[in-house]
Amino acid sequence: MVNLNRRQTLALGGATFLSELLFGGVPSSAEASDTLTIAYNVNLPSFDPTVGPSAVNPTIQAIYRAIYDQYVGQNPDLSFAPGLLTKWGWNDDKTKAWMDVREGVVWHDGSPLTPADVVWSLERAGNPKTGNPIQFVWGGLDNYKVDGNRITADVKQFDPTVFKWMAFLTGYILPKAYYEKVGSEGFEKKPVGAGPYMVDEYQGNAFLRLKRNDKYWGPKGAFDTVIFKFVPDGTSRVAEIESGSADVTLEIPYEEYDRLRAKPGLAGVCEPVSDIGMIFITNVEKEMLDENVRLAAIHAIDKDLIAKKLLRGYATPIATLQAPGYEAFDPSIKVSYDPELSKALLAKSGYSPEKPVKFKIQTTRGFKPKDYEMIQAIVGMWRKVGIDAEIEVYEIAKHYELRAGHKLDPMAFYNWGNAIGDPSTSTGFAMFSPSPHSAWKSKDLDDMIGPLWGEKDEAKRTAGWKAVDKYIAEKGYVIPLVQYSQPIVYKASLKVTPNATGALQPTLVSKA
Amino acid sequence: MTLVVAQRLIMAAVTLFGVAIIVFVLLRVVPGDPIAMMISPGATPADIAALRAHYGLDANLPAQFFVWMKNILRGDFGTSISLHRNVLEIMGERLPATLELAFASLVFAALLGGAIAVFATLISDWSVAPLIDAINGLFLAVPDFIWAFALVLLFGVFFPVLPLSGRIDPSLGERFVTPFYLLESLVTFRFSAAADVLRHMAMPMLALGLPLAAIITRVLKESLREAMVQDYVLLARLKGLSRLRLVLKDALRNAIAPTLALTGVQFTFLIGGTVIVERIFAYPGIGNMAVDAVINRDLPLIQGLTLVFGALFIVVNMTVDALVVLTNPRLRSV
């Protein structure tokens, strides 16, 4: 054994310090090790996927899905699959719901997942006092009964989408015994789930390190360790992947996506996701009550040009709030780009390029790719036909407040996500008057939408929503613009399966 | 002296109370309701009211303020809406990261700025001397966040020798007992960990420190120039003392007071600058957390962070005042 005196110890320490300081390279990555590092675009504020703002933040769901499991699983093409529930459904008259809980599943702490955990999670989610933002969905089921691994519940209010919500926001099962033992704050410090990865270490605003759950019931993750680095700045994320500090990154400017994927050693994928760009129309000011003005504004927008030039082809023009791949998408509904028609419509209402109709349009800037630039281009197109729109830039938080108070400007740009692809969670909530998320509030539309909420015949329900979308397009109650594609850049040694929900789940990344 | 200290402490308390009122009212006046960000599309007015009550936002403004102040006096800063944790506890975890970064930046700026000022004074009669002013002017003109992006490009992409984000390499698995990573790793002789912390701190420290170094250079160089023409320096020069010794031993001692005072003021700006710089480098301090708090309209957290920033500014100013008095014998008798 070598004995070192104090001076030698300090000298050795100093030498280690200096060599580490000068030559400690960038962190190891998936190529050389069993660690996958993802430069992620948002921070993870909270580990509880059922309460608070992060529970309804679609971007964070990729992390939640890695740690927890959902009642119902979802494939990358938006279709549903067994999750912690293996089967589910209704009785014939749809007054009762039933669910079969997967057997043999264990929590990260080794304790078994039981139907009691599922019932507790559903009851907690439906309790208004817990602050679950989607409580209105979960509250529709009540009086749970457990028989073996089957759970039955009374349907207080029939909601045809409740099982779809089980794969969506706040649809996660948490461990009853553990949560009750450690409480809310204890759970935040040491979360326990049943998902494919377990929390190893977390530093808010810096990183989350996950370890593979080798006892996971489903397909195991390809990497022993997954690190989510929280890098909200787009430029820094580009640098992370370019320098090799990260193996995968996402949501970077399309220009950078094109540049990076052309570099040796990097690859990219940019597929459509369940996110659309749209313009809300608020029916408060008289200009917006004029159908000619609304339709003129719609027909004057060249969406193809916006998608091809401004968004570099990484967007798909849409005519309704349903994007291709959504359940009620109807390709027969078309809205033409026809500036001459716009001029004619405006002329009917006494407007022209010389005497334009004037109103305000609100938009975010940098919240979504090219949001402000898109509105600038649209305002330019409108000017040519006789619409003089003044742009107001605002923060997304202000949008939410104004929308909830029905105080948005006559037009307002927004990005609407719909990861379960159901028409009720796009057209429904965006266009139904009682919804705090709607801007156009009118009785004719409510009369069409109202009966669809509780429609028990799925075929009739889908047909009903398609009819609503067609009616909205004819009346010009909203301006759907484009469906976004999500740019993901990764090391060529990896394989990334794009997810239409936009959730970059670690289980969708593997070694090539 | 005791009276002066007591007066300053009372003034500090009054200032913090003023900050508390302003931030509380402003947060509720400016658009951006935290509940509006959370409400689900199917929420009824009753659901929204329940959510508002859940977060204690249903009472009127004075009542909310009264409850908040009462709780603060008991050491309860509330629970963060977005993080679901005690605000004081979270700030206690994150503040040390910002403090270590801010002090490292200050030390770096003082050493670099001081060295350049002394060097510029030593070569003041050389023909290349104006070049230092020109370069210094450039460093003064570039704000910290521009430095941050330039450094990301330089040391992150072109010469990827420094880590781009975070406070420590997540793959290392280092565990710390305290939130003072640098201090703890040095004290416990974990030099490898200390080096990693410093490497992660390097780029944000440069981004924050370079503009401050330029300010220190300019002020100290000017003070040294004035000191170098004072009688006592001229006398020392006649005695045959070297120029280096004149600058370091005689002129610097007298030139340091104005630099110290200005550095103190600039240091508070540096702390403010951590907000954007921490964000760019994904450095987990209170600045980065403040951005998320604002995005999420996390009122309890924003209020807590504003008070912490306010307290920091007050402490820095009081410390600088004390240091100025200590370095200037004429002020001690006042």
Residue-wise pLDDT tens digits, B210-267: 999 999 999 999 999 888 888 888 888 888 888 888 888 888 888 888 888 888 888 8
- Residue B55 contacts A where some CB pair is shorter than 8 Å: yes
**Closest by Cα among B78, B30, B32 to B301:** B78
pLDDT for residue B165 is more than 60: yes
Q: How far is B242 from chain A (nearest CA, A)?
A: 35
Which residue in the block uniquely carries the two structure tokens 């009127």? B60
Interface of A with B in 405-444 (CB under 8 A): 405, 425, 428-430, 434-437
Q: How far is A122 from chain B (nearest CA, A)?
A: 17
- Packing angle, helices B252-280 and B191-227, rounded to 10: 140
Residue A278 backbone dihedrals phi, psi, to 5 degrees:
-150, 165
Q: How far is CA A62 from CA A138, A193, A507, B68, in A?
A: 22, 14, 10, 35
- Residue B296 contacts A where some CB pair is shorter than 8 Å: yes
Cβ atoms of A231 and A41 closer than 8 Å? yes
- Residue B159 contacts A where some CB pair is shorter than 8 Å: no
* b/e map A61-81, b = 16+ CB within 10 Å: bbbbbbbbbbbbbbeeebebe
In the prediction, which pLDDT does A3 show?
63
**Closest by Cα among A176, A157, A54 to B38:** A54
In the prediction, which pLDDT does B30 show?
80
Q: How far is CA A203 from CA B13, B285, B319, in A?
A: 32, 10, 31
Q: Is A106 exposed, middle or buried (0-12, 13-18, 19+ CB in 10 A)?
A: middle
In the 8-state DSSP scheme, what is residue B246?
I
- Please tell me which residue of chain B has the smallest CA distance to A200: B173
* Cβ–Cβ below 8 Å for B196 and A52: no
**Nearest CB neighbour to A227, from listed B31, B170, B281:** B170
Q: How far is CA B182 from CA A295, A461, A465, B268, in A?
A: 62, 61, 59, 22
How large is the average pLDDT for residues A250-258?
94
**Closest by Cα among B164, B298, B202, B184 to A230:** B164
Substitution target from A54, A64, A124, A205 for chain B, most B beta carbons within 10 A:
A205
- Residue A129 contacts B where some CB pair is shorter than 8 Å: yes
- Cα distance between residue A55 and residue A51, in whole Å: 5
Q: How far is B104 from chain A (nearest CA, A)?
A: 15
Q: What is the tens place of the pLDDT at every residue in A311-359?
A: 999 999 999 999 998 999 999 999 999 999 999 999 999 999 999 999 9
Q: What is the tens place of the pLDDT at every residue in A354-392?
A: 999 999 999 998 888 889 999 999 999 999 999 999 999
Q: Strand, helix or coil at A282? A: coil
Substitution target from B85, B87, B164 for chain A, most A beta carbons within 10 A:
B164
Interface of A with B in 18-37 (CB under 8 A): 18-21, 24-28, 33, 35, 37
Q: What is the tens place of the pLDDT at every residue in A108-167?
A: 999 999 999 999 999 999 987 787 888 888 999 999 999 999 999 999 989 999 999 999
- Cα distance between residue A266 and residue A29, in whole Å: 14
Which residue in the block uniquely carries the two structure tokens 């949001």? A371
- Cα distance between residue B178 and residue B233, in whole Å: 48
- Residue A143 contacts B where some CB pair is shorter than 8 Å: no
Q: Strand, helix or coil at A202? A: strand
Q: What residues in B contact A134, CB-CB < 8 Å?
A: 40, 42
Report strand pairing: A248-250 vs A225-230: unpaired
Interface of B with A in 117-156 (CB under 8 A): 149, 152-153, 156
**Nearest CB neighbour to B83, from listed A45, A239, A425:** A45
| A469 vs A53, residue with greater confidence | A469
- Residue B199 contacts A where some CB pair is shorter than 8 Å: yes
Q: How far is CA A376 from CA A227, A371, A389, in A?
A: 38, 9, 10
Q: What residues in B contact A43, CB-CB < 8 Å?
A: 288, 292
Strands (E), A131-224: 141-147, 150-155, 197-203, 207-212
pLDDT for residue A394 is more than 60: yes
In the prediction, which pLDDT does A153 show?
97
Rg (C-alpha) for chain A, rounded Å, is: 25
- Please tell me which residue of chain B has the smallest CA distance to A242: B157
In the 8-state DSSP scheme, what is residue A17?
H
Mean pLDDT across chain A: 92
How large is the average pLDDT for residues A28-50?
83
In the prediction, which pLDDT does A11 show?
61
- Please tell me which residue of chain B has the smallest CA distance to A186: B85
Interface of A with B in 245-274 (CB under 8 A): 245
Interface of A with B in 50-79 (CB under 8 A): 51-54, 56
DSSP H/E element including A416: strand A411-417
Q: Which two tokens stand for residue A160?
A: 């045809």
Cβ atoms of A387 and A300 closer than 8 Å? yes
List the single range of A39-53, A244-258, B37-51 with lowest mean pLDDT. Answer: B37-51
Residue A146 backbone dihedrals phi, psi, to 5 degrees:
-115, 130
Q: How many CA atoms lie within 13 A of B30 on its CB side?
A: 12
* Cβ–Cβ below 8 Å for B165 and A206: yes
Residue type, position B190, single letter: R
Cβ atoms of B303 and B27 closer than 8 Å? yes
Q: What residues in B contact A245, CB-CB < 8 Å?
A: 156, 160, 163-165
Select, from the ranges A17-21, A24-28, A322-326, B126-130, the one with the highest average predicted confidence (pLDDT). Answer: A322-326
**Closest by Cα among A363, A263, A362, A253 to A311:** A253
Q: Which two tokens stand for residue A453?
A: 């909420």
DSSP H/E element including A511: strand A509-511
* Cβ–Cβ below 8 Å for A245 and B163: yes
Q: How far is CA A185 from CA A46, A239, B75, B80, in A?
A: 10, 35, 17, 11
- Please tell me which residue of chain B has the smallest CA distance to A14: B191
Cβ atoms of A77 and A68 closer than 8 Å? no
Residue type, position A178, single letter: Y
CA dihedral A111, A113, A115, A121 (to 10 degrees): 100
**Nearest CB neighbour to A48, from listed B84, B93, B167:** B84
pLDDT for residue A16 is more than 70: no
In the prediction, which pLDDT does A17 show?
57
Q: How far is CA A109 from CA A13, A86, A105, A106, in A?
A: 38, 22, 11, 8
**Residue percentage of chain A with pLDDT more than 90:** 81
| B30 vs A274, residue with greater confidence | A274
Q: What residues in B contact A397, CB-CB < 8 Å?
A: 31-33, 36-37, 295, 297
Q: What is the tens place of the pLDDT at every residue in A207-229?
A: 999 999 999 999 999 999 999 99
Q: Strand, helix or coil at A292? A: helix
How many CB contacts within 8 angstroms connect chain A with chain B? 221
Substitution target from A19, A60, A241, A243 for chain B, most B beta carbons within 10 A:
A243
Interface of B with A in 76-105 (CB under 8 A): 81-86, 90, 93-94
* Cβ–Cβ below 8 Å for B191 and A14: yes
Q: What is the tens place of the pLDDT at every residue in A165-205?
A: 999 999 999 999 999 999 988 999 999 999 999 999 999 88
How large is the average pLDDT for residues A385-410?
92
**Nearest CB neighbour to B54, from listed A17, A129, A398:** A129
Residue type, position A167, single letter: A
DSSP H/E element including A276: strand A266-281
- Cα distance between residue B197 and residue B249, in whole Å: 35
Beta-bridge partners for A201: A209
In the 8-state DSSP scheme, what is residue A398?
H
Cβ atoms of A260 and A238 closer than 8 Å? yes
Tell me, what's the ipTM?
0.79
